[in-house]
Structure 1
Amino acid sequence: MFDRILEVLPEIGVAMGQTLTMLLVAIPLAVLLGTPLGVLLYTIGPNGLKHRPRLHRILDGLVNLIRSFPFLILLIAIIPVTRFIVGTTIGTAAVIVPLTINAIPYFARFVEQNLSQLGSGVVEAARSMGASRSQIVRDVLIVEAKPGLVSSITIMTVSFISYSAMAGLVGGGGIGDFAIRYGYYRYETPLMITAIVLMILLVTIVQLGGSYIARRLDKRL
């Protein structure tokens, strides 16, 4: 068993590298693009800074629509878009496109919820001191919501580790692809167990790291 694991160790390393690449590209892009979308959803929402019902309904419906797609179906449905952006529909680069598209509204909803949970008192206090709308968002809401946003990023990353594993079903590479090739097609159970253990370790590291950072940022602790 151990001899076999050592034999395929280079492939395991490549697979882990591909999984990390998916996450290190998709998650930062989701945070970068999902944060302003989430802020906009909150700002124009019923309890936001400037309620715009029609625009909020449109954006809210669009976010719900994309989030409702199971990742595997989304991955297949946007194949033309993926081919247009990266020039291929297989491999790690191709999986990053649907991962990012799925992650943006996912994180945007987290941002909206975290800002909504702050309550109106923080906003009113900032307004009473003459803060503009952009200052309230940038210097008050985002700052106060940092612990919650870090926890949200952690939850999203853990979820998308499993999504990246699904990419193995369509030749997307990563540890999921490794588990399918050796554990499912070749019936090498020890190698599949090795892949599962690596996924568990990755999830544990992300969860512990995210929880630690969130605690450090939380002023109440």
Structure 2
Amino acid sequence: MIPWIHHETTQVPGGDELKLMQRGSEFSIRLGRTELMNSRLSGSEEALATRAWEKISDCRNPAVLIGGLGMGFTLKAALDVLPDDARVVVAELVPAVVRWAKGPMAEIFGGSLEDPRVEIRVDDVGEIMRRDRKTYDAILLDVDNGPEGLTREANDGLYGMAGLGIAKAALKPGGVLAIWSCFPDDRFAGRLAKTGFEIEEIRVRAHRGKKGARHVIWLATA
């Protein structure tokens, strides 16, 4: 059995510690004992981008905001489907995650950070949405394990009525807010509806294959 190697531990602003672990070619980002993401499981993160793009595929010069860099699966999937005139802003709160993307996990990212369409901002995605009103055709949120603050309590604000209202205000008319979750949440779906979104909830395999756990993606059209 190949042992896990501990690359680095970093502090989430206002939250707990994140660890980057590696075993062979496999990477894991963990919050305490909870695994937040694994490089072997990318299917649902990729679907977050591709299914959102299906909703706005007729847009010219699309502008996309991705909340959470993670292991870059959502970013890479977005770049694969977006046109050359697209603009992609990636908000990552934890500076070390950007450093890991350019260092130990560079092979996973495959040059996506150098794509001329991409801008990386070390910033709170909630603050970016608050500042950038009517700016984005799509906002893709994968900042936690679901619509609650696991990595830090402040993330709760993204999923409450006020936070959803801010997200809606940052979208252009007809734009889509896509949210990834490890689990279903009927109360959160209800909040999306109360905010005035048209909602589609889909279940997607965590793995690209036909077996394994399913994750949830909400597609909320403004």
Q: Is TM > 0.5 for Structure 1 vs Structure 2?
A: no
* Shorter-chain TM-score tier: under 0.3
TM-score, structure 1 as length reference: 0.25
Whose strand proportion is higher, 1 or 2?
2
Whose helix proportion is higher, 1 or 2?
1
**Which structure has the greater CA radius of gyration?**
1
Per chain length, whose mean CA-contact separation is higher, i.e. which structure has more relative contact order (CA < 8 Å, sep 6+)? Answer: 1
